[in-house]
Each structure stands twice: as C-alpha cells, then as structure tokens.
C-alpha cells in the first residue's frame, strides 16, 4: 500500500527505525514466522471444512477431518502464543535500544543545544515517544509482513478456488484502499501534534515542579495549572483526532470486507445456480473472504499504527539532530605531577547565539600557572561567560583561548575538563546523598581524601552533626541544604578532583563571615599549587589575589593588583569603595 509514504515522515525516520530494529532482526523474523505459521494453520481450516462437507455429502466418515481440524486449532493457539511473546519481547528490546541511544546522546548535548531546549520536552521524547516504538515494531513491521504475506497467500488460494469471485473481491478491496490513502496521512499529522503536546506538557511540568516554591509564593498555581491543562487537552484533542481517523480507516476496511462478502455471496450464488461453481466452492470461498478480514485488518492496523510511530520517530530524530559533543572515553584526573595550568584569552569575541548581541568584544588576558586571579566587574560584564568558555561549554566566535599555550580546540574534551575544577555561580547540588555529590567528579576518591576536603571546605562539622553523616540525602537540587552549605559542597567537590585549574564563580557569596574567611585561607593555600580563577564579590578576596582582571561590558578594562587598580582605574576604585557588594553579579 502506497500509504506508507507520508509527507511528514521523511525517509530518515524510517532508516532510524530500521537502525533500532536491525540488531533484533532475527528475533523479529522468528516472531514473524511463528505468526505466519499461526496464519497458515488457520488458512488450512477451510480446506478441511470443504473435505468435511464433501465427506458428509458422500456419506463418508468425518472423524479424519474432525481430528485434523482439532489438531490445527490446538497448533494455532500454541504457535500463536509463542509468536506473540517473541514479538513483544523483541519490541521491548527495540524500545530499550532507542532509549539507550537517546539518553547517551542527550548527555552529550552541547550546552548551546540545552540552552535552546526544554528539558521536560526532551524527557518526554525519552519516556513517551520511545514507548510508541513498541507498537511500531510488533503491530506495524510484523503486522505488515505477516498480514501482507497471509493476505497474498489467501488471495492465491482464492484464485485457485474461483478466479471470478477473486476479481470481485479485489475490486472492492482496491476501492477501499484509495479511501485509506486519503485518511492515513491525517493520522500521522494528528499523532505528531499529540506527541508534541505531551512534550509541551512535560516542559510545563518541569518548569513548575522545578520552581514550585516560587510558584506557590507568587500565587501562580492556577496559571501554571491552566498551562498544564491546556497542553494535556491539546494532546487529548489531537489523539482523539488520530483515533477518529484510525477508526475511520479500520471501519473502511471492515466495511469493504462486508461489501465483498455480500457481493461474493450474490455473484457466487448466481454462479452456483448456473452450475459454473459448486456449493462447496462457494462455501470455501466465503470462508476465505471471512479469513481475509484478519490480515486486512492487520495491514490497515499496521499502516495506521506506523503513522503514530513515525510521528514519535520524527520527534526522536529531532532530538538526535541537536548539536552534541563527539563521543569520547572519560579521561583520568590529573596526577599531582601534572602541575598547575596557564590560561590565556586572545582577543576573544563571543555571543551565545547568532541572533543575540556579543557578550565578549575582544577579551584578552593571560594567567600564568599558579596563583590566584580575581575577576571583578558589574553584573552582566561577562565574567561567568569567561568560565563557560574555558570549560568549552561554548566556542568563541573569534580569537583564541589557550590552556598551557595550547588552543582549547586542540584539547580532547574529557581531558580538558578533567584538568579543571569548576564551582558554578549557583553552586548546583544534585539529588542524592552528600557523598554522591562529593564523589560526582572523582568516584574513586578514598575516605581520607574525602575527609580532607570536608575539613578544607569546612563541612566536617555539618557532616558530624547529621545523623546519617555523608549518607544524608540532600533533596532535589540540594533543597535540604542552606545556600552556604550548597556552596561548600560544590567547593569540596571541585577540590576533591585536585584540579590543575580551579574556577570559583562567586563560590562564597552565601557564606557567613567566619566561614568565608576560612575558605579564603583555603583558596589561598590551594592557589600555591594550582591556578585559581575567582569571580569575586568581596573586597577581602580581591585584595588577596595576585592579580585582578576588571571587566566591563564584555571587555577587560584593566589588569593589576588591588593597589595599582585603586589608583589607576576609576571603576575599580568605585567597586572597591562599595566593597563590591552592590555591583556583584
Ligand atoms: P557576569 O557573570 O559578569 O554577571 P555573564 O557572563 O553571566 O555575566 O553574562 C554576560 C551576558 O551574557 C549577560 O548579558 C547575560 O544576559 C548573557 N548571557 C549569559 N548566559 C547566557 C545564555 N546561556 N544565553 C544567552 N545569553 C546569556
Ligand atoms: Mg556571573
């Protein structure tokens, strides 16, 4: 049936499906053969029935025919059960393969792609869309194969029994086929929109649950609820539309078979009356028409089901088209002998997207190995962006960034990131235990190393106080910790890696004065063996730095020590005078 071609299902989606199915092709073939055998045992039944009627007509014993019929029925049931189990298992394996491939890919997504995507929608693609591949594999691929073959076999048998009646049947089926050609693409479109709406719902849900406290505090539950319900209703509407067209397709097929049945009965009856055919032939042919129903329903079901599946495949494919980092093996963490790293920016120009203004307009600075360098400047100056570029979350549009004199683009990505310890501005903590969070960047760290970073990050007292110690669960995004505790966990995590380059983005902004002073000493200590870059908001941190890079509006205004800059740079002098507190960003 040419209806497998749909305007919205491009060939690559089919190739994607075949890619997921290929590893299981033998299991699928075995399942298909078992299904076929089931069909064949059913197909033999009319022949036995004809013999039974013959036997009756000629006063012969019917026990042989009855025995054959019972045998066929039992074989039919047993082979059918085995076949459907094998097929379902294979379908689950196809879903598993798709989920594995998609989750691996999503973890490698470039940060630019993540910036542009809704995590909830991507989640829906992994959970909901892949599930739809199950039906595509069993019902569509196998249904089309076995149903199609059974259909052909039945038609051949019909031709052998009575070619004239076959012609009548085929005419009816062809008429129904052209009606289906109009209906089927509509199922595809509706399915795609239904799945898109599920994605929208996932995104809205993630947005709301991710900030439920803020939503509650803003009294915005009802508005968020409305958005969620709208997405759910849109999915309902589109699914109902798809169901309507699927039902129409199924009923068209069913109706066609009824018409074929009546027509065959009328034409066949006339042929029996004229003596062109005998009554046994007519009964056998009518049984074949009856048996045609199941493969035809199967093929039509396969085609309609494929529309839903190909809509899901297209969504999976869209996710697989997002830019991703090349697959790479994890790199070992630096060994103590590797020494600190030197970093330099050479006239770096960068913007987050082609349609956004430049954030860096030619940033240049050089940081030698070892020592502490502070980045200061008003909010939005581009300080965090400097760190994102060093981690290669983004690539500069022009200019060069070097680590140890080597262009970042020449570094193997895992190796580059293994050299760096990064504490992000909002000090993210992942759901799980404190220990999970500390070991995230260095799973092999021993207890002694963990105890050491707990002390240096001043977390040891907290851990001692907690009944479960390091096994305490921190909640989603670390909500069970205070802001300052989260920051110290993030710092401890970064230190545990013994990085060659430590990036601290306002990492102590939420600490009390005592803890802040202690951590300042820790960082100063670390800076003796490691290169430390800090985005600083407190004068105390800045004055301790070996050099200060003053940034403003995507440019480096000045570089120097505190003493030099207070005298030479008015912006810095002003920031220093207000203790950076007002201008922190
Ligand atoms: P700072 O850390 O100095 O306060 P940032 O480097 O975070 O500044 O941001 C510099 C500018 O880039 C800001 O104007 C900000 O709005 C923009 N920006 C930051 N992150 C993104 C992003 N992921 N996508 C688009 N624009 C961004
Ligand atoms: Mg920032």
116 lines ligand 1 (CB under 6 A): no
Model confidence band, residue 56 (pLDDT cutoffs 50, 70, 90): confident
Model confidence band, residue 8 (pLDDT cutoffs 50, 70, 90): very low
> What are the pLDDT digits (tens) for 447-494?
999 999 999 988 999 999 999 999 999 988 888 888 889 999 999 999
Q: Which neighbouring-strand residues pair with 533?
A: 373, 503
| Segment among 48-52, 323-327, 403-407, 448-452 with least mean pLDDT | 48-52
Q: How confident is the model at residue 298, as a pLDDT?
A: 85
Locate all alpha helices (DSSP H) within 397-433, ordered by sequence: 413-418
521 lines ligand 1 (CB under 6 A): no
Is residue 245 within 8 A of residue 187, CB to CB? The reply is yes
Sign of CA dihedral 100, 101, 105, 106: negative
| Residues 214, 91 share a domain | yes
Neighbour-count burial of 11, counting CB atoms closer than 10 A to its CB (0-12 exposed, 13-18 middle, 19+ buried): exposed
Q: How far apart are CA 551 and CA 354, in angstroms?
A: 23
Task: Inform me whether the pLDDT recorded for 343 exceeds 90.
Answer: yes
| Segment among 11-20, 408-417, 545-554 with least mean pLDDT | 11-20
What percentage of the chain carries pLDDT values higher than 90? Answer: 57
Q: How far apart are CA 451 and CA 583, in angstroms?
A: 36
Q: How confident is the model at residue 93, as a pLDDT?
A: 94
| Residues 438, 296 share a domain | no
> What are the pLDDT digits (tens) for 62-116?
888 888 888 888 988 999 899 989 988 999 999 999 999 999 999 999 999 999 9
385 lines ligand 1 (CB under 6 A): yes
Q: Which of 380, 381, 505, 550 to mutate to test the pocket of ligand 1 (most atoms within 8 A of CB)?
A: 380
Return the closest-CA partner of residue 583 out of 550, 544, 548: 550
Q: What is the 3-state secondary structure of 316-348?
A: HHHHHCCCECCCCCCCCCCCHHHCCCCEEEEEE
| Residues 316, 435 share a domain | no
Distance 43 CA to ligand 2 centre (A): 73
Q: How confident is the model at residue 516, as a pLDDT?
A: 86
| Residues 437, 293 share a domain | no
115 lines ligand 1 (CB under 6 A): yes
Ligand nearest to the CA of 375: 1
Task: Inform me whether the pLDDT recorded for 2 exceeds 80.
Answer: no
Return the closest-CA partner of residue 519 out of 544, 498, 500: 544
Q: How confident is the model at residue 66, as a pLDDT?
A: 86
Q: How confident is the model at residue 138, as a pLDDT?
A: 77
509-537 average pLDDT score:
88
- Residue 221, in any domain of the structure: yes
356 lines ligand 1 (CB under 6 A): yes
Residues 507-514: contacts with CB under 8 Å, at least 24 apart: 507/423, 507/427, 507/534, 508/538, 508/541, 509/537, 509/584, 510/427, 510/482, 510/483, 510/484, 510/486, 511/484, 511/487, 512/484
> What are the pLDDT digits (tens) for 182-194?
999 999 999 999 9
548-555 average pLDDT score:
95
- Residue 446, in any domain of the structure: yes
> What are the pLDDT digits (tens) for 422-440?
999 988 899 999 999 999 9
Task: Inform me whether the pLDDT recorded for 9 exceeds 60.
Answer: no
Domain finish residue from 275, 305, 320: 320
> What are the pLDDT digits (tens) for 175-218?
989 999 999 999 999 999 999 999 999 999 999 998 999 999 99
- Residue 191, in any domain of the structure: yes
Q: How confident is the model at residue 386, as a pLDDT?
A: 97
User: pTM for the full model?
Assistant: 0.84
Model confidence band, residue 579 (pLDDT cutoffs 50, 70, 90): low
Q: Output the CA–CA distances (angstroms, integers) from residue 139 to 5, 35, 238, 388, 453, in the order listed.
A: 17, 11, 21, 47, 56
What percentage of the chain carries pLDDT values higher than 70? Answer: 97
Length of the chain: 585
- Residue 338, in any domain of the structure: no
- Residue 443, in any domain of the structure: yes
Q: How many CB atoms lie within 10 A of CB 318?
A: 15
355 lines ligand 1 (CB under 6 A): no
Q: How far apart are CA 172 and CA 156, in angstroms?
A: 17
Domain finish residue from 320, 340, 361: 320
> What are the pLDDT digits (tens) for 373-419?
999 999 999 999 999 999 999 999 999 999 999 999 999 999 999 99
382 lines ligand 1 (CB under 6 A): yes
Q: Which of 356, 379, 382, 571 to mutate to test the pocket of ligand 1 (most atoms within 8 A of CB)?
A: 382
> What are the pLDDT digits (tens) for 16-30?
888 999 999 999 889
| Residues 437, 306 share a domain | no
Sign of CA dihedral 136, 138, 139, 144: positive
| Residues 440, 311 share a domain | no
| CATH code, 478 | 3.40.50.300
Q: How confident is the model at residue 130, as a pLDDT?
A: 94
83 lines ligand 1 (CB under 6 A): no
Return the closest-CA partner of residue 20 out of 120, 91, 117: 91
> Which of 130-139, 186-195, 289-298 holds the top average pLDDT?
186-195
- Residue 473, in any domain of the structure: yes
105 lines ligand 1 (CB under 6 A): no
Residues 6+ apart with CB under 8 A from 207: 118, 120, 224
Both tokens of 52, joined, read 């039974």
Nearest atom of ligand 1 to the alpha carbon of 551: 3
Return the closest-CA partner of residue 373 out of 503, 483, 276: 503
Distance 138 CA to ligand 1 centre (A): 48
Phi, psi of 534 (to 5 degrees): -125, 135
Distance 382 CA to ligand 1 centre (A): 6
- Residue 159, in any domain of the structure: yes
Number of domains in the chain: 2
| CATH code, 248 | 1.20.1560.10
| Residues 433, 315 share a domain | no
285-297 average pLDDT score:
88
Domain finish residue from 264, 294, 320: 320
| Residues 315, 436 share a domain | no
Q: Output the CA–CA distances (angstroms, integers) from residue 55 to 44, 158, 283, 455, 505, in the order listed.
A: 17, 22, 15, 95, 92
Q: Residue of the nearest CA to atom 14 in ligand 1? A: 380
Ligand nearest to the CA of 585: 1
The residue segments making up the domain with residue 476 are: 429-498
Q: How far apart are CA 36 and CA 576, in angstroms?
A: 82
- Residue 407, in any domain of the structure: no
């Amino acid at each position: 049936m040419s209806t497998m071609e749909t305007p919205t299902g491009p060939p690559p989606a089919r190739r994607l499906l075949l890619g997921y199915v290929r590893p299981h092709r033998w299991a699928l073939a075995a399942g298909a053969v078992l299904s076929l055998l089931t069909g064949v045992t059913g197909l033999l039944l009319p022949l036995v029935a004809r013999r039974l009627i013959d036997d009756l007509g000629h006063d012969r014993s019917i026990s042989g025919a009855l025995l054959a019929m019972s045998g066929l029925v039992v074989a039919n049931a047993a082979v059918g059960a085995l076949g459907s189990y094998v097929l379902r298992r294979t379908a689950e394996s196809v879903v598993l393969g798709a989920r594995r491939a998609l989750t691996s890919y999503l973890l490698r997504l470039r940060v630019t792609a993540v910036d542009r995507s809704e995590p909830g929608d991507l989640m829906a693609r992994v959970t909901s869309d892949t599930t739809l591949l199950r039906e595509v594999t069993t019902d569509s691929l196998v249904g089309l194969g076995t149903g199609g073959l059974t259909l052909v076999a039945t038609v051949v048998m019909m031709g052998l029994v009575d070619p004239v009646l076959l012609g009548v049947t085929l005419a009816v089926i062809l008429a129904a086929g052209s009606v289906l050609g109009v209906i089927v693409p509509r199922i595809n479109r509706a399915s795609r929109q239904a799945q898109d709406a599920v994605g929208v719902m996932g995104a809205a849900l993630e947005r709301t649950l991710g900030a439920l406290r803020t939503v509650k505090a803003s009294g915005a539950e009802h508005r968020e609820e409305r958005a969620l319900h709208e997405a759910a209703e849109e999915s309902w509407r589109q699914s109902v539309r798809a169901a309507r067209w699927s039902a129409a397709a199924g009923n068209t097929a069913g109706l066609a078979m009824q018409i074929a049945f009546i027509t065959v009965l009328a034409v066949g009856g006339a042929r029996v009356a004229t003596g062109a055919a005998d009554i046994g032939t007519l009964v056998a042919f009518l049984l074949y028409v009856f048996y045609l129903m199941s493969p035809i329903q199967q093929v039509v079901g396969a085609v309609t089901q494929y529309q839903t599946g190909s809509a899901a495949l297209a969504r999976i494919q869209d996710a697989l088209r997002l830019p991703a980092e090349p697959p790479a093996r994890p790199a070992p963490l630096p060994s103590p002998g590797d020494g600190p790293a030197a970093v330099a920016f050479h006239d770096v120009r960068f913007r987050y997207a082609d349609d956004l203004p430049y954030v860096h307009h030619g940033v240049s600075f050089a940081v030698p190995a070892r020592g502490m360098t502070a980045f200061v400047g008003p909010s939005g100056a581009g300080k965090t962006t400097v760190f994102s570029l060093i981690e290669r979350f983004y690539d500069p549009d022009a200019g060069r960034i070097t680590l140890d004199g080597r262009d970042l683009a020449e570094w193997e990505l895992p190796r580059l990131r293994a050299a760096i310890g990064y504490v992000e501005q909002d000090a993210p903590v992942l759901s799980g235990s404190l220990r999970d969070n500390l070991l995230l960047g260095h799973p092999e760290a021993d207890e002694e190393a963990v105890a050491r970073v707990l002390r240096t990050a001043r977390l040891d007292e907290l851990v001692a106080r907690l009944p479960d110690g390091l096994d305490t669960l921190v909640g989603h995004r670390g909500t069970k910790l205070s802001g300052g505790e989260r920051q110290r966990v993030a710092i401890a995590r970064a230190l545990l890696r013994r990085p060659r380059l430590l990036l601290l983005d306002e990492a102590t902004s939420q600490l009390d004065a005592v803890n802040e002073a202690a951590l300042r000493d820790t960082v100063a200590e670390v800076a003796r063996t490691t290169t430390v870059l800090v985005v600083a908001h407190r004068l105390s941190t800045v004055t301790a730095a070996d050099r200060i890079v003053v940034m403003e509006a995507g440019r480096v205004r000045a570089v120097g020590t505190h003493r030099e800059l207070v005298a030479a740079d008015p912006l810095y002098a002003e920031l220093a005078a207000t203790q950076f507190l007002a201008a922190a960003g």
